[in-house]
């Protein structure tokens, strides 16, 4: 038996939505993008959304729109995908890696506050695996220290914590529609915020800084456009937007399916005494990824054993402190982020996607236990 790490859940209706756009005269950023932005914002109970090419672009544009740049610092958890930190560097600022909580892998907000100095501009939090950071506490930390609060919500559209969803308490939240994310258009992203002026700025910056977009030029009578400051090229297309709007309706069904799979993994791992990140009782996790914690000395062997059994695996993530780009600058070596380092040395991501069959789940779970036990014995 083989179980892929991920299998997307795009169906004929999504394909039909994309095809409809391709058969129409207008295929780039237009009505469908506006429509998706409206649907996403209302799903999240936020005022506005801006569709872009990726979550990486979304994070980059949010930092740029706030004028974060050289001399500034942004606090980023060490347990995340590299894009959460690379965007900080791309705007010319410095990412400051922060340790995470031992049980959840979420940013340790006390540690984050300890890293604040006069150069700090932004607190960036990551809703890791779909479980939300305590946004009420994050908001207090940001407000006490005069920081913007940015949510990397690439894993979490559907999550909630104490009744708060992504985008509601942050100054902006960024989403990913990459191929393996909870809804997808192969590539795609969005910035969501309650700050209308900020959204207007992101909207201009995603398209060269132009004061009018192609839709205006296409539908109205010709008017000259202007550029007050240079922007970038990161606009979402209507092909992406049409596919995404269609999938929004299935968000909860697909989340429930991943929730059931995750709970089955947890049962099997509990029985075997294998650890995994805790989902807190006050949280509804979006259940984007399922990771387990093998003994650090066994991790790579467990990955190999699972692959030998036909199970797709990944590591989400190794601690950013271990990447050459950080290790070589010497600032975060040693014990700056010991809990992130430990989690990063133990993590094995198991297959998780909507509508996994019972057989697939059972086989992957049993192989995971066998792989850990096989290593512990030898
Ligand atoms: C996937 C991911 C991103 C980047 O998303 P893209 O849409 O591929 O740019 C950023 N942060 C986290 C935590 C991610 O998992």
Q: Write the pLDDT tens digit of every residue in 67-87.
A: 999 999 999 999 999 999 999
Instruction: Return the ligand 1 atom nearest residue 176 CA.
Output: 7
pLDDT of residue 328: 84
Q: Cβ(340) to ligand 1 under 6 A?
A: no
Answer whether 83 contacts ligand 1 (Cβ < 6 A): yes
Q: H-helix or E-strand containing 180?
A: none
Ligand 1, residue 53: give the atom nearest the CA.
Answer: 7
Sign of the CA dihedral with 39 first, then 40, 41, and 42 last:
positive
Helix pair angle (31-43, 238-248), 10° resolution? 30
Give pLDDT < 50 ranges for the chain.
none
Contacts of 191 (CB under 8 A, 6+ apart): 49, 50, 52, 58, 61, 62, 172, 173, 174, 199, 202
Say how many Å lie between the CA of residue 221 and the centre of ligand 1.
39
- Residues 270/292, Cβ–Cβ less than 8 Å: no
The answer, yes or no, to whether any atom of ligand 1 lies below 6 A from the CB of 198, is no
What's residue 378's pLDDT? 54
Query: Residue 218's pLDDT is what?
Result: 74
Whole-angstrom distance, CA of residue 33 vs CA of residue 47: 16
Taking the centre of ligand 1 as the mean of its atom positions, its distance from the CA of residue 357, in whole angstroms, is 27
Per-residue pLDDT, 329: 80
Q: Which of 178, 188, 206, 340 to mutate to test the pocket of ligand 1 (most atoms within 8 A of CB)?
A: 178
14 lines ligand 1 (CB under 6 A): no
Ligand 1 pocket residue status of 246, Cβ below 6 Å = no
pTM: 0.97
What long-range pairs does 111-117 form, CB within 8 A, spacing at least 24?
112/75, 112/141, 113/141, 113/144, 113/145, 115/75, 116/75, 116/145, 116/147, 117/73
Residue 310: its pLDDT value, please? 98
Closest CA to 350 of 131, 157, 129: 129
Query: What does the pLDDT read at residue 155?
Result: 98
User: What phi, psi does 67 have (nearest 5°)?
Assistant: 75, 25
In the structure encoding, which two tokens stand for residue 376, read together?
């512990």
Which pLDDT belongs to residue 70? 98
Task: Tell me the sheet residues that pair with 79.
Answer: none
Q: Where are the beta strands (DSSP E) in 220-289?
A: 283-284
CB-based contact 51:96 (threshold 8 Å): no
**From CA 314, how far away is CA 26, in angstroms rounded?**
39
For residue 217, what are its two tokens?
A: 């030029």
131 CB under 6 A from ligand 1? Answer: no
Q: Is the CB of 84 under 6 A from ligand 1?
A: yes
C-alpha 174 – ligand 1 centre gap (Å): 9
Which pLDDT score, from 0 to 100, does residue 62 have?
98
Given this model, what pLDDT does residue 283 score? 97
Phi, psi for 192 (deg, rounded to 5)? -125, 135
Between CA 99 and CA 311 the distance in angstroms is 31
160, 186 Cβ separation under 8 angstroms: no
Report the nearest atom of ligand 1 relative to the CA of 54: 7
């Amino acid at each position: 038996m083989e179980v892929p790490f991920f299998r997307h859940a795009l169906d004929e209706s999504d394909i039909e939505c994309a095809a409809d756009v391709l058969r129409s005269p207008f295929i780039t950023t237009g009505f469908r993008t506006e429509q998706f932005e409206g649907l996403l914002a209302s799903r999240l109970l936020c005022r506005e959304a801006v569709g872009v090419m990726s979550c990486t672009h979304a994070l980059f544009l949010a930092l740029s729109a706030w004028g974060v740049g050289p001399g500034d610092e942004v606090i980023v958890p060490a347990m995340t995908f590299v894009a959460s930190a690379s965007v900080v560097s791309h705007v010319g600022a410095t990412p400051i890696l922060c340790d995470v909580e031992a049980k959840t892998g979420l940013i340790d907000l006390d540690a984050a506050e300890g890293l604040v100095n006069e150069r700090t501009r932004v607190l960036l939090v990551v809703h890791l695996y779909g479980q939300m950071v305590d946004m009420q506490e994050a908001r207090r930390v940001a407000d006490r220290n005069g920081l913007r609060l940015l949510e990397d919500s690439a894993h979490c559209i559907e999550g909630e914590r104490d009744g708060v969803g992504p985008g509601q308490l942050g100054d902006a939240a960024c989403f990913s529609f990459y191929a393996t994310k909870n809804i997808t258009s192969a590539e795609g992203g969005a910035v969501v915020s309650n700050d209308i002026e900020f959204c207007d700025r992101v909207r201009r910056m995603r398209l060269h800084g132009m004061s009018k977009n192609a839709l205006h030029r296409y539908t109205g009578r010709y008017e000259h456009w202007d550029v007050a400051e240079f922007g970038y090229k990161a606009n979402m297309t209507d092909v992406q937007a049409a596919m995404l709007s269609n999938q929004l309706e299935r968000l909860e069904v697909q989340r429930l399916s991943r929730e059931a799979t995750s709970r089955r993994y947890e049962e099997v791992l509990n029985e075997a005494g294998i650890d995994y990140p805790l989902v807190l009782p006050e949280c509804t996790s979006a259940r984007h990824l399922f990771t387990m914690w093998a003994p650090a000395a066994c991790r790579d062997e467990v990955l190999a054993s699972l692959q030998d059994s036909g199970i797709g695996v990944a590591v989400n993530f190794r601690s950013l402190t271990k990447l050459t780009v950080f290790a070589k600058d010497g600032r975060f070596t040693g014990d700056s982020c010991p809990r992130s380092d430990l989690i990063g040395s133990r993590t094995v991501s198991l297959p998780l996607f909507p509508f996994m069959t019972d057989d697939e789940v059972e086989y992957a779970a049993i192989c995971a236990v066998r792989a850990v036990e096989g290593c512990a014995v030898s």
